[in-house]
A = this chain, B = another copy of it.
Amino acid sequence: MRQRPVNLMDNPHADRVKRVAQLAGRSAVRNRRQQFLAEGPQSATEAIRAHLGFLKLSEPAQQMWPVGETVAEVYYTQRLIISHPDLFALVQQLPAHVFVAETSDQVLQAMSDAVVHQGIVAVVNMPPHSLQPSPGAELVAGIVRVQDPGNVGTIIRVADASGADYALATAGTVDIYNPKAVRSTAGSLFHLPVYTRVELGTFVASFQGRIFAADGYGTRVLDQTDSGMLNGPTAWLFGNEGQGLNDDELRLADQRVAVPLYGLAESLNVATAATICLYSSAMAQRRQDPSTS
């Protein structure tokens, strides 16, 4: 579909290289340019598949990652041709309006946030922050002021795996387009809508279902939760690593639910707690409705 591009990029100090590298830095740059980086084969593959219309996305996810408009630029090193031939074949199918270039190792390293670059970097168009969650959904992962990019990425990946309709991140959450967060999603960022800058009160008021706060001090223990409770439309709220959910946030929830701790551990990492909560809901919802199993 496209000619193999010439290797036009050998200079890690070229303006174009610097511009890409800036997207790995501060969120202000990403927000101003409305672009971010999908680094490495997993993330780049899913971004490109979204661009090509190869993913079976829900309609809201298609709005986030529109066919033909998701990927702006792709850079890769020659090694990718041998190490990931499938991905290289996808790159070759990108239409001509996407800028594609083979670069030297040095140039790709200069563009990459990773300690060792992984052979490919895609510049991706950021979905507008104005896209906001719909009130009708079976399962939602609410990320509330979580600070660690790895935790945010892991929660998005688990939201995808558990079949959540979407994830949302409140203002005060670390930028989900931070390169480490994107990498931690392992491509799941492009599989479901992830709404940003969500105002929690507005969301809760409109959501048609139960709001559960994952809270270590919750008196309701997940274990004892009857499946009738887990079975309906549910939005989970997962709070900040250090402080959890604050009082205002807890008050927005219908129920505070604790993951049981059977051993001597005093707490769980927020991504681990989210895993247990989201999968418990996903499994309970499917047990009740044999048509989807």
Residues of A within 8 A of B (CB): 55-57, 154, 157-164, 186-188, 191-192, 223-224, 259-269, 271-272, 275-276, 279, 282-283, 286-287, 293
A161 contacts B262, CB within 8 Å?
Answer: yes
13 sampled A-B residue pairs with Cβ under 8 A: A57-B264, A160-B264, A161-B259, A163-B262, A163-B263, A164-B263, A187-B266, A192-B263, A192-B264, A223-B286, A260-B282, A260-B283, A262-B282
B223 contacts A261, CB within 8 Å?
Answer: no
A269/B154 contact (C-beta < 8 A), A223-B283, A262-B282, A264-B56 known: yes
A191 contacts B272, CB within 8 Å?
Answer: no
Main secondary structure of the interface of A (DSSP, over half): loop
Residue of B nearest to A156 (CB): B265
Residue of B nearest to A61 (CB): B264
- Name the contact of A279 in the complex, choosing from B264, B271, B276, B293 (C-beta under 8 A): B276
Residue of B nearest to A188 (CB): B265
Residue of B nearest to A285 (CB): B262
Q: A262: which B residues are within 8 A, CB to CB?
A: 161-163, 282, 286
Given A161-B259, A262-B286, 12 more pairs with CB closer than 8 A: A56-B264, A157-B272, A158-B268, A161-B265, A161-B268, A162-B263, A186-B269, A187-B266, A188-B263, A223-B283, A224-B293, A260-B283
Q: Please give the distance in Å from A227's CB to the nearest CB on chain B.
A: 11
Q: A154: which B residues are within 8 A, CB to CB?
A: 269, 272
Q: Please give the distance in Å from A112's CB to the nearest CB on chain B.
A: 19
Residue of B nearest to A55 (CB): B264
Q: Give the docked Cα–Cα distance between A186 and B241 (Å).
A: 13
Q: Give the docked Cα–Cα distance between A59 and B186 (Å).
A: 41
Q: Give the docked Cα–Cα distance between A122 and B262 (Å).
A: 27
* Highest count of chain B CB atoms <10 Å: which of A186, A223, A266, A271: A266
Q: A187: which B residues are within 8 A, CB to CB?
A: 265-266
Q: A188: which B residues are within 8 A, CB to CB?
A: 263-265
Q: A158: which B residues are within 8 A, CB to CB?
A: 268, 272
* Highest count of chain B CB atoms <10 Å: which of A164, A263, A266, A268: A263
Q: Give the docked Cα–Cα distance between A271 and B164 (Å).
A: 20
Q: Give the docked Cα–Cα distance between A149 and B95 (Å).
A: 41
Residue of B nearest to A264 (CB): B191
Q: Please give the distance in Å from A34's CB to the nearest CB on chain B.
A: 24
- Name the contact of A157 in the complex, choosing from B191, B192, B269, B275 (C-beta under 8 A): B269
Closest 8 CB pairs of A and B: A163-B262, A191-B264, A161-B265, A160-B263, A160-B265, A163-B263, A275-B275, A161-B261
